[in-house]
Copies of this chain bind each other. A is one copy, B any other.
Amino acid sequence: MSSRETVSIGLSAAIVAVEANRPSVLVVAHGGSEDALPFGPFDPAHHRTLESGLHKWVGEQTRFDLGYTEQLYTFGDKGRHLSSGRGGRVVSVGYLALTRKTSGEKLREAPDTQWRDWYHYFPWEDWRDQKPAMIETTILPALKKFVKDAPNAEMAELRRERVNVCFGEGWDEERVLERYELLYEAGLVEEFYRDSGKALKGAGQNTSLGTPMLFDHRRILATAIARLRGKLKYRPVVFELMAPTFTLLELQRVVEALAGLRLHKQNFRRLVAEQGLVEGTGKFSAPARGRPAELFHFRREVLRERPAPGVRLGVRRGKLS
């Protein structure tokens, strides 16, 4: 009755910052060729909480001191975390952390550490300039095939529904994980072949989408993006990513980078101002060209005043302006 395999707990963090309109995640070169999130085992002897264990690992691997952190999800599927070496099963707990990537910090980063635009891993998620062409040219045809290849009619209907919800009419920017999981199951993502041992279909054509990551790290990152995109709207989390003062356009660009969407400028500032999220400082930016913009800072008091303050998006559909 005691055929118990051992379990160990892996902690991973998606550490996010935004700079130059690029939402970036901190990755480490973990020996292998694949990008990895900072991670390591949880050692219960030395840590009272999971989070304190996480801080230690992140500190060692990236010399980074994370601020805002939030637990994402616990993944335990056999096979999707090829247990490092022999031994037991790894159950991995994913975290999201938000930081300001200031130039001063850069010096203290570990050498084998790197910021990468998260749209490298999820190129279909960036709709800021236009709907990514790959959706029509590559993804939808492949998913159509995935539907057709279903073992029976009922499964086909289920798959069709998922394809439609994920990539059909009405883009829901929060369904990042759902989309990644669908692409994984449809074999459009390299990790699928690595985890299952199957060969890439039609080896010639490379249908692999986005840059793969170690273990289930791309899944954790997808969860992180989805959570962040959702949370934006009802909690003032963006400000964790902003410098102490910023112009309203800078704020908008950061939100756009995270959401992967363009917003309507005038409405965005209306929402932000009405909600009392920010307060002018009376100082102004000195731009290369154009009228200087007022510098604002986050009003911490809103947390007390409003029940669920967040940056409502104010999506744009019409022409640019």
**A residues neighboring B (CB under 8 Å):** 3-9, 42-45, 48-50, 71, 73-74, 76-79, 88-89, 91, 93, 161, 164-165, 168, 170, 172, 174, 303-304, 306-308
Pair A44/B88 contact, Cβ less than 8 Å: yes
Interface SS of A by simple majority? loop
Q: 3 smallest A-B Cβ distances: which pairs?
A: A44-B89, A50-B76, A172-B307
Task: Please state if B49 and A77 are interface contacts (CB–CB under 8 Å).
Answer: yes
Verify A78–B308 contact, CB threshold 8 A.
Answer: no
Contact A50 B74 (CB under 8 A): yes
The CA of A94 and the CA of B50, in the complex, are separated in Å by 15
User: Which residues on the B side are within 8 Å of A8 (C-beta)?
Assistant: 7
Q: Give the CA-CA distance A172 to B305 in the complex, in Å.
A: 12
Instruction: Identify 12 new A-B residue pairs, CB closer than 8 A, beyond the known A48-B77, A168-B304.
Output: A3-B45, A4-B44, A5-B45, A6-B6, A7-B7, A7-B8, A7-B44, A44-B89, A44-B91, A49-B78, A71-B73, A170-B307
Q: How far is the CA of A93 from the CA of B76 in the complex (A)?
A: 11
Shortest Cβ distance from A171 into B: residue? B307
28 A-B pairs with C-beta separation under 8 A:
A4-B43, A4-B44, A5-B43, A6-B6, A7-B7, A7-B9, A9-B9, A44-B88, A44-B89, A44-B91, A48-B77, A48-B79, A49-B76, A49-B77, A49-B78, A50-B76, A50-B77, A71-B73, A71-B74, A74-B74, A76-B93, A161-B303, A164-B304, A165-B304, A170-B306, A170-B307, A172-B308, A174-B308
Check if B161 sits within 8 Å of A304, measured CB to CB.
yes
| Residue in B closest to A168 when the chains form the complex, CB atoms | B304
- Residues on B with beta carbons closer than 8 Å to the beta carbon of A9: 7, 9, 76, 91
**CB-based nearest B residue for A76:** B50
C-alpha gap A78/B6 in the complex (Å): 20
CB distance from A298 to the nearest CB of B (A): 15
Q: Which B residues lie within 8 Å of A6 (CB)? A: 6, 44
Which residues of the partner chain B approach A7 to less than 8 Å between Cβ atoms? 7-9, 42, 44
Bound Cα distance A50, B91 (Å): 9
